[in-house]
Chains A and B, each alone.
Chain A
Amino acid sequence: DVKVTQSSRYLVKRTGEKVFLECVQDMDHENMFWYRQDPGLGLRLIYFSYDVKMKEKGDIPEGYSVSREKKERFSLILESASTNQTSMYLCASSSGVATYGYTFGSGTRLTVV
């Protein structure tokens, strides 16, 4: 009963490549989020979206952009991948403006070489 699906579990890309990470949720959630997870740093928010075509910067947006053309899909884009973007990327979704917890995807481990 997977609710939040990330398209790739593992990804290896070269420096300078444009990288797309895809996330799809089937719970009709309004809010979607992209975090990166690094040891000792926890989960850091990159971008989030509370509606179709809406986006807001999180704490570490530099080097990233996002796209939300449909309610169920939220894409993270690395315009020109760099080695310091090697990380685990987690997508999450939540419902409305109420204080509900997130549902996370399984994550994409991206390695930039």
Chain B
Amino acid sequence: GENVEQHPSTLSVQEGDSAVIKCTYSDSASNYFPWYKQELGKRPQLIIDIRSNVGEKKDQRIAVTLNKTAKHFSLHITETQPEDSAVYFCAARDSGYSSASKIIFGSGTRLSIRP
């Protein structure tokens, strides 16, 4: 099955700087890679996703890149703001036999924005 590794586990950046979170996956057949943001005490929420037929996707200050050859993908947040402080999870869809879209998550990155 799929295995997703995520780095770093904690990240602290100055407000206004950029933050990058990196993930690797093991199943070369995986074709869907979502990113979730979980604010303190709240549920994880999907912030951006990318499918295997594209290499990059942007949504305002957030971008995700995918390198299928190397089996890694990254989240980039530019011009960070205090409200970006949260735990971020990368994930990959398991391409196993099940008919369900089973998603495997990384271990999470706690991002803190320093004022």
Interface residues in chain A, defined as those with a beta carbon under 8 Å from any beta carbon in chain B: 30-31, 33, 35, 40-45, 48-50, 56, 58-59, 90, 94, 96-102, 104-107
Residues of A near B31 (CB, < 8 A) are 99
Interface contact A90-B43, CB-CB below 8 Å: yes
Q: Which residue of B lies closest to A32 (CB)?
A: B100
Interface residues on B, range: 20 to 34
Interface residues in chain B, defined as those with a beta carbon under 8 Å from any beta carbon in chain A: 1, 6, 9, 31-32, 34, 36, 42-46, 49, 51, 89, 93, 98-108
Given contacts A40-B9, A99-B32, A99-B51, contact A45 B102 (CB under 8 A): yes
Interface contact A105-B43, CB-CB below 8 Å: yes
Interface contact B107-A48, CB-CB below 8 Å: no
Given contacts A97-B100, A99-B93, contact A42 B106 (CB under 8 A): yes
Interface contact A107-B102, CB-CB below 8 Å: no
Residues of A near B34 (CB, < 8 A) are 101-102
Q: Which residue of A lies closest to B100 (CB)?
A: A50
Interface contact B108-A42, CB-CB below 8 Å: yes
Given contacts A40-B107, A106-B42, contact A99 B89 (CB under 8 A): no
Contact for A90 among B44, B93, B101, B103, CB less than 8 A: B44
